[in-house]
Each structure stands twice: as structure tokens, then as C-alpha cells.
């Protein structure tokens, strides 16, 4: 019985299951596949739940299918790490040729992150592609791009992940970078022409609402500063608890500010769920204010998208479009300098829309202007110094300088930022620092692998005797982007 499921269709039952903590992981119920028509399950639930011996867990297990809730990777022998990763590509490959529960249909096979994450994730897929490139798996790289193309054409954007409850938000827009990576591999410029319309469609999603926006206001993913400049922010159209973290959100919302759920969800669009970066007081999730911020990473990625659109227009001799996108990119480059560069601390910071100033949080997303070669030599030098002094530890680069217990805070080191750090330093000739970033993190990955036989979602950069922690769920093993970045760094 394959019919797309939207959580609101089983809201009463879903609410009871999540509040009763029927499953240890709240993601279990969001991934469940109904065995009978939803109307039938709802009617049955209303009829049976009043009875004295009603068992909620038994009811759910007899009406839903839970296969493959967690990806377990078992090995008889401890293989060399690179051989282990080669095997993992196949073990983490999935298909979704038809709609099943909340899982969205996709035309091509894809690689999932691992652990509890058994669907297609947007920005993870770019970092997975880095490793696929090294492994010579060009077809899978093309599959990922085709799946993004399918989602942008059919949904209007690439959702956070390929489930119905993620249709209210995206993730950092990496599609244009995926095309660059494929071009680097195949040297075929036609891919920019082939996906030109898709790039435009994704750009339209991020810029939706920019026309006619008043000074000092924001709508959707666009903000207009008091100076009349248009920047972008992360956003989610829903202001309700996240189904995959339902009870956590409800509990955290007590004593929280307005639009708490939307602020939480908007932080999820950044991929950084969660970090002191989003908190007004730098400490507590209740003070989350993602909606008040324009982010340096997002605006750099949109600069790249504008540059790519100028390139794809140029290849087709679309002169007016080429000029328009080039102008937009030039303007955004100037705005990145104006709004995100903090001269005092010698680094890039997010911009607070209400306060018209940079936020206090020091974080590793400051690497993006270096990664995309937007920073000047002097700015790059200052950022490199900042990174070396405050972010580089024995086990890799940390994400922030604050330890709050949130997983995107100190002392955790995440794969994407090791690649961004390495490449950023190479771009500006800081080769020794690039090597240090690479070696510190890769040896941490190797040590954990030697001790556990696993590749983790994140690592502890400070205490290299332990595995990383923090966040809403245990550290996951698999792990897509770690595999990709590790292979890519080792080959550089």
C-alpha cells in the first residue's frame, strides 16, 4: 500500500505517540509506513483508545511498518579504513522509486548518511560526492544531481531531506557547487546548460519575496536592511514542533520567545541544529533568534549560485541574463564585505537584522568567503590566524568557541568544515595550516575507526580519547559526509 503520508493526516495518533515516548527516538514514528489507509487507522484508533486494556505501542506496531529505522553496519573483520568506506558506499545506497509513508519518491539511487538518517539529505550529499569522486563513482555523483534536479523541478527547491515533513525548508544551497564538482570530474561544460533552468528555479526559491520588500523588514528567506540592501536568511514556513523532534521542541518551547518553533526549524535549514550561534544569549535554546539573522555562509553560497547562473547564461549566449546575474553577484560580494566582515575581531560574523550589527558568535562558517575566494588577501590572513588560534585542536576544527552541550558547538569537529578549512587555506597559500587541519582531523577519524570499527557523524576535537556527544540524539555511525571528506582529504 504505497501512498504518500503527511504527518498532519495522523496528527492525533502522532501527538499521543510522541508525547508518550513510545519510541526512544522520535524519528521512528515519522519514518513509519502505514499498513492500512490512514482514514482506517484513525477510525480504529478513535474507537479503540478508550478501552481499558488499550496498548498504544502495540496499536502502532500492528498498524505501521518500521523496517530499516536504523542502518546498522556490521563487519566480521576490521578492514583498512579506505576499503571499509568503499564497501560503505554500497551499504548506504538506497532507492525510492515510489512514495512510501513520508519518504518522497526519487528517480535515481542515492547515498544516505547512515545511522538514523535513512533518506536523501541535501547538503550532506555534496560532501558525500567528494568521496564518490575519489572512488570513481561518477554515475552516483550524477544520480545525486538528478535527484536534486527532480526535487527542484517538482517541489521548487531541495528539501532538508526527502520526507514530507521537510517540505517547509531546504538546506544550504549546494546544487551549484555539485555541478562544479561534476564538471571538475568530467570536464563537460554542458552540465551548466543542462541544469540552467534548475539553477534559476532554486535561485527564485531563495529570493522569493525580495520584490517590493520594505527597508528594515524580512519575508521568507530575504531581508532588506535599513540601507536598502537585500540579504538572505534561513527560514521555515511552519511554526509548529518538528515531527522528528516533537517532544523535545514542546518541552524546549516553555519560557521561549515568540515564533520559537519557526526559529528552531529555520536553524535546521542551516544544517546547524543546534548551536550557540543562533541564541540571543549565546547559551540557551529558548533564546533562539535565527529569523533575526542574515548568515554569512548562506549569502556566500547564493553568491556562488549567482556566479554559476552568469556562467550558464554565458555558455548559452544569453547576454542580458549573464549581465544581470554578474551584477547581482558583484553586488552581493560587496555586501558580504559590508555586512559580514568584522574588522575588530578579524573574522566574518552573521548580521543581526534588528540591531544592524554583527552578532557576537564566533563560528567556523567564517570560512565560506575563503572557500569561495571572496575574501581579500588581508581578510584571509586575519581569518586564518583566527582559525589557527581559536578553532584548530588536536582532533580537527571546532565549529564555535562556546561549549553549550549543543552538537554544533565546541568541542565537536564536523566533516564539512574540515574540507572547507583545508580548501580555504589552500586557496590563499596557507599550505602548512591546511596540512595541519587535514592531519589533525584525519588522524582523529583513524583513531576512532581503529577503536570502534566505525566512522562517525562528528568527532570530539579536544579530547581525542572520547567520541563526540551533545545534541538531541546519540552520535551516529555510517557516515556519509565523514567518508566523503576523509577520502577527499587523504587524496589531496
**DSSP assignment of 51-88:** STT--HHHHHHHHEE-TTSSB----SS---HHHHHHHH
The Cα–Cα gap between 172 and 122 comes to 8
The Cα–Cα gap between 387 and 311 comes to 32
Task: Select from 20, 43, 66 the last residue of a domain.
Answer: 66
**Burial bucket for residue 389 (CB in 10 Å: 0-12, 13-18, 19+):** exposed
Residue 323, pLDDT > 90, answer yes
Domain that holds residue 479: 369-491
pLDDT (average), residues 228-244: 98
On whether residue 468 sits in a domain, the answer given is yes
Tell me if 443 sits within 8 A of 434, measured CB to CB.
no
On whether residue 433 sits in a domain, the answer given is yes
On whether residue 194 sits in a domain, the answer given is no
Q: Which of 142, 350, 457, 477 is an active site residue?
A: 457
Residue 488, CA distances (Å) to 88, 136, 415, 492 in order: 15, 12, 11, 6
DSSP 283: S
Kindly provide the residue ranges of all beta strands, DSSP E only, lying in 274-377, ordered along the sequence: 293-294, 341-342, 347-348, 351-352, 357-358
Confidence at residue 1, expressed as pLDDT on a 0 to 100 scale: 59
Quickly tell me which residue has 527597508 as its cell. Answer: 215
On whether residue 363 sits in a domain, the answer given is no
Residue 72, pLDDT > 90, answer no
Q: Which of 124, 236, 273, 295 is an active site residue?
A: 273
Residue 68, pLDDT > 70, answer no
| 457 has catalytic annotation | yes
**Burial bucket for residue 435 (CB in 10 Å: 0-12, 13-18, 19+):** middle
On whether residue 114 sits in a domain, the answer given is no
The Cα–Cα gap between 152 and 145 comes to 10
The Cα–Cα gap between 325 and 236 comes to 26
| 320 has catalytic annotation | no
On whether residue 25 sits in a domain, the answer given is yes
The Cα–Cα gap between 54 and 237 comes to 36
Work out the percent of the chain whose per-residue pLDDT is above 70. Answer: 99
Task: Select from 66, 90, 108 the last residue of a domain.
Answer: 66
The backbone torsions φ and ψ at residue 479, rounded to the nearest 5 degrees and listed phi first, read -120, 120
**Burial bucket for residue 25 (CB in 10 Å: 0-12, 13-18, 19+):** middle
Residue 261, pLDDT > 90, answer yes
pLDDT (average), residues 290-305: 98
Confidence at residue 69, expressed as pLDDT on a 0 to 100 scale: 64
**Residue from 430, 417, 130, 425 nearest 297 by CA:** 417
Confidence at residue 471, expressed as pLDDT on a 0 to 100 scale: 82
Tell me how many domains the chain contains.
2
Task: Select from 42, 66, 90 the last residue of a domain.
Answer: 66
Confidence at residue 467, expressed as pLDDT on a 0 to 100 scale: 73
pLDDT (average), residues 364-373: 98
Residue 269, pLDDT > 70, answer yes
Among 5-19, 58-72, 121-135, 188-202, which stretch is predicted with the lowest mean pLDDT?
58-72
Residue 299, pLDDT > 90, answer yes
Confidence at residue 257, expressed as pLDDT on a 0 to 100 scale: 83
First to last CA, the chain: 48
On whether residue 425 sits in a domain, the answer given is yes
Kindly provide the residue ranges of all beta strands, DSSP E only, lying in 70-219, ordered along the sequence: 93-94, 110-111, 217-219
- Place 49 in a pLDDT band, splitting at 50, 70 and 90: very high
**H helix runs in 187-284, sequence order:** 190-194, 196-207, 246-252, 260-270
Residue 111, pLDDT > 80, answer yes
Residue 358, pLDDT > 90, answer yes
Write down the mean pLDDT value for the chain. 96
Residue 450, pLDDT > 70, answer yes
Confidence at residue 472, expressed as pLDDT on a 0 to 100 scale: 83
Confidence at residue 75, expressed as pLDDT on a 0 to 100 scale: 78
Q: How many CB atoms sit inside 10 A of residue 99's CB?
A: 15
Confidence at residue 466, expressed as pLDDT on a 0 to 100 scale: 76
Residues 6+ apart with CB under 8 A from 233: 218, 221, 222, 223, 266, 290, 291, 293, 294, 295, 298, 353
On whether residue 52 sits in a domain, the answer given is yes
Work out the percent of the chain whose per-residue pLDDT is above 90. Answer: 93
Among 66-75, 234-243, 322-331, 412-421, which stretch is predicted with the lowest mean pLDDT?
66-75
pLDDT (average), residues 400-429: 98
pTM, entire model = 0.97
**Residue from 91, 102, 233, 213 nearest 161 by CA:** 102
Amino acid at each position: 500500500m504505497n501512498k504518500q503520508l503527511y504527518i498532519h493526516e495522523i496528527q492525533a495518533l502522532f501527538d499521543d505517540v510522541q508525547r508518550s515516548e513510545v519510541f526512544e527516538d522520535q524519528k521512528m514514528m515519522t519514518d513509519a509506513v502505514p499498513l492500512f489507509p490512514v482514514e482506517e487507522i484513525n477510525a480504529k484508533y478513535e474507537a479503540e483508545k478508550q478501552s481499558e486494556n488499550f496498548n498504544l505501542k502495540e496499536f502502532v506496531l500492528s498498524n505501521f511498518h518500521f523496517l530499516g529505522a536504523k542502518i546498522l553496519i556490521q563487519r566480521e573483520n576490521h578492514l583498512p579504513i579506505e576499503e571499509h568506506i568503499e564497501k560503505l558506499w554500497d551499504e548506504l545506497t538506497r532507492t525510492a522509486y515510489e512514495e512510501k509513508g513520508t519518504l518522497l519518491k526519487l528517480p535515481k539511487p542515492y547515498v544516505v548518511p547512515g545511522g538514523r538518517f535513512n533518506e536523501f539529505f541535501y547538503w550532506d550529499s555534496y560532501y558525500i560526492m567528494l568521496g564518490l569522486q575519489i572512488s570513481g563513482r561518477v554515475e552516483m555523483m550524477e544520480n545525486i544531481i538528478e535527484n536534486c534536479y527532480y526535487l527542484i523541478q517538482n517541489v521548487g527547491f531541495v528539501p532538508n531531506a526527502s520526507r514530507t515533513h521537510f517540505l517547509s525548508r531546504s538546506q544550504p544551497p549546494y546544487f551549484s557547487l555539485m555541478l562544479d564538482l561534476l564538471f571538475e570530474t568530467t570536464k563537460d561544460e554542458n552540465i551548466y546548460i543542462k541544469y540552467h533552468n534548475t539553477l534559476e528555479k532554486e535561485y527564485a526559491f531563495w529570493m522569493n519575496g525580495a520584490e517590493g520588500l520594505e527597508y528594515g523588514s524580512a519575508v521568507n528567506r530575504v531581508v532588506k536592511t535599513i540601507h536598502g540592501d537585500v540579504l538572505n536568511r534561513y527560514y521555515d514556513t511552519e511554526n509548529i514542533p518538528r515531527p522528528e523532534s516533537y517532544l523535545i521542541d514542546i518541552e524546549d518551547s516553555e519560557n521561549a520567545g515568540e515564533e520559537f518553533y519557526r526559529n528552531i526549524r529555520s536553524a535546521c535549514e542551516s544544517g546547524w541544529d543546534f548551536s550557540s550561534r543562533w541564541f540571543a544569549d549565546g547559551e540557551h535554546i529558548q533564546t533562539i533568534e535565527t529569523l533575526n539573522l542574515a548568515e554569512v555562509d548562506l549569502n556566500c553560497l547564493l553568491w556562488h549560485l549567482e556566479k554559476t547562473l552568469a556562467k550558464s547564461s554565458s555558455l548559452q549566449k544569453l547576454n542580458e541574463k549573464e549581465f544581470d546575474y554578474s551584477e547581482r553577484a558583484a553586488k552581493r560580494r560587496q555586501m558580504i564585505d559590508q555586512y559580514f566582515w568584522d574588522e575588530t575581531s578579524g573574522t566574518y560574523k552573521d548580521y543581526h537584522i534588528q540591531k544592524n550589527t554583527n552578532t557576537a558568535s564566533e563560528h567556523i562558517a567564517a570560512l565560506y568567503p575563503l572557500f569561495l575566494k571572496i575574501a581579500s588577501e588581508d581578510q584571509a590572513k586575519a581569518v586564518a590566524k583566527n582559525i589557527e588560534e581559536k578553532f584548530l585542536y588536536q582532533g580537527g576544527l571546532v565549529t564555535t568557541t562556546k561549549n553549550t552541550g549543543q552538537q554544533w558547538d565546541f568541542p565537536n569537529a564536523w566533516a564539512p568544515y574540515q574540507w572547507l578549512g583545508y580548501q580555504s587555506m589552500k586557496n590563499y597559500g596557507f599550505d602548512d595550516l591546511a596540512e595541519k587541519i587535514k592531519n589533525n582531523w584525519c588522524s582523529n577519524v583513524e583513531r576512532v575507526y581503529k577503536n570502534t570499527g566505525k566512522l562517525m557523524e562528528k568527532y570530539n576535537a579536544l579530547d581525542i580519547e572520547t567520541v563526540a556527544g551533545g545534541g538531541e540524539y546519540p552520535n551516529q555511525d555510517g557516515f556519509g559526509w565523514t567518508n566523503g571528506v576523509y577520502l577527499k582529504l587523504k587524496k589531496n
